[in-house]
Structure formats: C-alpha cells, structure tokens
C-alpha cells in the first residue's frame, strides 16, 4: 500500500493571524502572507495538508465546540478559489492541565491524522511558530521540522537552544516549500 506524505501545520500564527482565542469564523479574513502560495507548492509536490492545532479555548469555555469546524471551514473557503483545501484538521480541545495525549507537544494529533489518511510520518514535515509545534513533529518522528517566523516564531527563534533540532527557520510557507 502506498503511504502519503503530509505537511503538518499549526493553525493560528502559522496559517492565519493569531489574535488569541478565535471564537468566530469572521475573525479569519485572510491567511498570512505567503500561506496560500506555499500551500499550493506543497500540493504540487504531492503533500497532503493537515492542520494540527491546540484549541484549549474550547476546554476553557472561551470557544464553543461547534465553532471550531466553522473556523476551519472558513480557511478552506479562502483556499477554494486557489483549487486547494486542507485535507484534515486535527484539534486538541483540552486544557493544558488535562494531560491528554493529543495536546502538542504530544504527537497524538499527528498520529490520529496519519492513521486516518495513511500518512508516512517519517516522510512528512512539521511547520509551526511555537516550540510545542516543533516538539510535536519531533515526538511524532517527522522527517523535517520547520520553524516559521510568523506568529510567535521570532520569539521562539530567539529562545531556541543550540541542542534543539530544527531543520530550517523560514519567513513564510513559500520559503518552507523550498525545503521539502
């Protein structure tokens, strides 16, 4: 059986601006600069696109559970005119103190998507703006780990320690697509 390769992406701060708990699809008006072009390039390279996102606002009561699919649908609505879609959205709605296996940096979201879409994680890429995103990709066994400087990325980059394994640091998803 043929396995798929995927680009696992954080959502808020990587694909779209991160104003804090997004509780309404109208808060997503566009994607970050370079995001659409980068996603197109990943698709042209044969990658599935999978969003893996901690959304503890649901567990904290700040976001209604039924809002998450609407926010995700809005992202695909923005992408639709470009002929691309996010293939799967994996969300952890638990609070940090619930110690679930799906909350990044745990690899549960990636494992769930890999099982559902027959993804070979060892041939896949993780892209995010926070240490928890990068650690999630490492913990899952992704081939390539990319820190993006959008969202909290610049702060994360400044705090990276030398021993921490990041394959590339990029300004946007267009640049990230050059490294896959």
Positions annotated as catalytic residues are 10, 12
Q: Is the dihedral of CA 54, 55, 58, 62 positive or negative?
A: positive
Q: Is the dihedral of CA 90, 2, 147, 82 positive or negative?
A: negative
With 0-12 / 13-18 / 19 or more C-beta atoms within 10 angstroms meaning exposed / middle / buried, residue 23 is middle
Max Cα-Cα span within the chain: 42
CB distance 142 to 180 below 8 Å:
no
69's CB contacts (< 8 A; 6+ apart) are 89
């Amino acid at each position: 059986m043929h396995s798929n390769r995927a680009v696992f992406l954080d959502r808020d701060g990587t694909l779209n601006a991160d104003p804090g708990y997004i509780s309404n699809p109208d808060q997503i008006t566009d994607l970050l600069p370079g995001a659409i072009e980068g996603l197109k390039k990943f698709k042209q390279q044969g990658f599935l696109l999978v969003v893996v996102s901690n959304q503890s606002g649901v567990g904290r009561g700040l976001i209604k559970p039924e809002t998450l699919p609407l926010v995700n649908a809005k992202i695909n609505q923005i992408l639709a005119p470009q002929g691309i879609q996010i293939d799967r959205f994996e969300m952890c709605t638990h609070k940090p103190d619930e110690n679930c296996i799906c909350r990044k940096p745990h690899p549960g979201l990636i494992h769930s998507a890999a099982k559902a879409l027959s993804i070979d994680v060892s041939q896949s890429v993780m892209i995010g703006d926070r240490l928890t995103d990068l650690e999630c990709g490492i913990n899952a066994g992704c081939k390539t780990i990319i820190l993006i400087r959008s969202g909290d990325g610049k702060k994360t980059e400044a705090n990276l320690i030398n021993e921490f394994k990041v394959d590339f640091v990029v300004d946007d998803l267009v640049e990230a697509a050059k490294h896959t």
